[in-house]
Amino acid sequence: SQQGEEDPQALSIQEGENATMNCSYKTSINNLQWYRQNSGRGLVHLILIRSNEREKHSGRLRVTLDTSKKSSSLLITASRAADTASYFCATDGAGKSTFGDGTTLTVKP
């Protein structure tokens, strides 16, 4: 079974709006990573947050991690049509990387 579960499954917003997607997991982790996948392409790494960190930023991306709630969120600010993709969280626990089923984000121009 998958360790990470993303919510919502699908999200549709207008260009310029913010997009928030969440990831919940069940067991303790060493780190959590977010990846993006454009249709028909491989995954691209976005950001890694370690278990002792609470928040990280990278450009228009903001990731938070709450280990007490076993959850993480990815915020994309000022979204663009090019942000349309599937977003996956991957949890690293005991040296094993496990992906969720992703959130499909559609940004309408």
Partner 1 sequence: EAGVAQSPRYKIIEKRQSVAFWCNPISGHATLYWYQQILGQGPKLLIQFQNNGVVDDSQLPKDRFSAERLKGVDSTLKIQPAKLEDSAVYLCASSRADTSYEQYFGPGTRLTVT
Binding region for partner 1 (CB under 8 A): 2, 30-31, 33, 35, 41-45, 48, 50, 88, 90, 92, 95-102
Q: How far is the CB of 16 from partner 1 (least distance, A)?
A: 28
Q: How far is the CB of 14 from partner 1 (least distance, A)?
A: 25
Q: Write the burial class of residue 81 (CB in 10 Å: 0-12 exposed, 13-18 middle, 19+ buried).
A: exposed
CB nearer to partner 1: pick between 79 and 86: 86
Q: How far is the CB of 89 from partner 1 (least distance, A)?
A: 9
